[in-house]
Structure 1
Amino acid sequence: MKISRPTENEYNVASFQYRYIQAVTGEDAFKTLRENISVVENFYKNIPAEKLHYRYSEGKWTPIEVLGHIIDTERILAYRALCIARGEKQSLPGFEEEDYVKATNFEKQSLKNLLLQYKAVRKANIMLFKTLTTKELKRIGKANNINYSAGAMAWLITGHELHHLNILKERYL
């Protein structure tokens, strides 16, 4: 099973998501989906406990909130991949990430609980992507009024989390 790098007609290269897809090394998002389970888990387990709830500036997310955001975003992108793969004709809604983080209690959840959620979501999505045919992965649909292929969503999931891990490295470690 391989999910090849999306072509320019499978996502909007002018959108901010372009940087997420470019952040993924290699030519197989499926491989990165599998490998990043341990990457993310090890990364978070190496953050000193006192920094898990630290904000480097007012209004910025803590590392715990970032992990919650990564989980939420993966759930949304996987749902989009499923809908697009199944031929959904309507544009799927966007979401306001700041509002999602503010509306939850990530700060009151333990790192252990969030990592369990992360791994469960990732493993379920690996199974989802594993079942999609090449035709389904290449199928184009709309999310937030932007054209995407179902396969591009796998690249966005992995690139999005890498983007946030890089920010955490720069600002917190």
Structure 2
Amino acid sequence: MEAITILKRPKTNEYHPFFERYITLVPDGGLLDILKKQQETTINLLRDISSEQAEYQYEAKKWSLKEALGHMADAERLLSYRIFAIARGETLSFPPFDIDAYMTNADFSRLDFQDILSDFSIVRQCTSSLIAGLSDNAWIRTGTVLNHPTTVRALAYIIAGHELHHQAIIKERYLLM
């Protein structure tokens, strides 16, 4: 666990440049603490959302709040799998995921918002459990994501930054209605 407390921010050669926008959002500090605080912030932000608010789209053809939260859980689930696989020595190249296809096939509109929020929380708990058990050597193991060498450490930071990115969008575009 101490390795997570002193985990250093990944260097730019540890991930595809696309992910820079997420990694730069992550504050300094212990990664497990950051992930736990983010989880609490997201849950507190969204726990009292009504069914009507959950269906809100801030613009035509944009995701509803339900879909945005579902996407956050899906993306974390996918990135956590990549952490798991690379940490365990997987060497295959991970392709990008088509977020539009994932969204279409998830059909979040049929689900209750509180169930999606609960799923998000469970996914975060699983992610935290996974990274808490990683060895020091696992953090620097490298796989290929978006045809670019990517470390386990970078993927963990991407998860944290992706949530911060969507928290900001939710605050700015969904909760001001």
Using the size of structure 2 for normalisation, the TM-score is: 0.90
* Residue type of the alignment partner of 1:10: E
Equivalent residue for 1:120? 122
* Residue type of the alignment partner of 1:63: L
Q: Retained in 2: the 8 A contact 1:33–1:158?
A: yes
Following superposition, the deviation at residue 47 of structure 1 comes to 4.0
1:4 to 8, 20, 32: 8
Q: Secondary structure at the match of 2:143?
A: strand
Give per-residue Cα distances to partners, 1:23-69, cap 9 Å, x unaligned.
11123322211211211101112445432111111110011100100
* Residue type of the alignment partner of 1:9: N
Q: Secondary structure at the match of 2:95?
A: coil
Following superposition, the deviation at residue 5 of structure 1 comes to 1.3
Using the size of structure 1 for normalisation, the TM-score is: 0.92
Equivalent residue for 1:75? 77
Equivalent residue for 2:87? 85
In structure 1, stretches of 5+ residues that fail to align are none
Give per-residue Cα distances to partners, 1:50-93, cap 9 Å, x unaligned.
32111111110011100100010001000111111112111012
Equivalent residue for 2:137? 135
In structure 2, stretches of 5+ residues that fail to align are none
Aligned mates of 1:36, 1:117 — CA distance in 2? 15
- CA-based RMSD of the aligned residues comes to 1.5
* Residue type of the alignment partner of 2:70: G
Aligned mates of 2:154, 2:37 — CA distance in 1? 18
Equivalent residue for 1:62? 64
Name the count of aligned residue pairs.
Answer: 171
Aligned mates of 1:20, 1:47 — CA distance in 2? 26
Identity of aligned residues (%): 36
Following superposition, the deviation at residue 17 of structure 1 comes to 1.1
Q: Secondary structure at the match of 2:18?
A: coil
Q: Secondary structure at the match of 1:134?
A: coil
Q: Secondary structure at the match of 2:137?
A: helix
The 5 Å alignment of 1:1-173 reads 1=1, 2=4, 3-12=7-16, 15-173=17-175
* Residue type of the alignment partner of 1:101: M
Aligned mates of 2:119, 2:170 — CA distance in 1? 20
Following superposition, the deviation at residue 132 of structure 1 comes to 0.6
Give per-residue Cα distances to partners, 1:84-135, cap 9 Å, x unaligned.
1112111012201121111122112112211221111111111110111121
Aligned mates of 2:42, 2:151 — CA distance in 1? 25
* Residue type of the alignment partner of 1:147: P
* Residue type of the alignment partner of 1:26: D
* Residue type of the alignment partner of 2:158: L
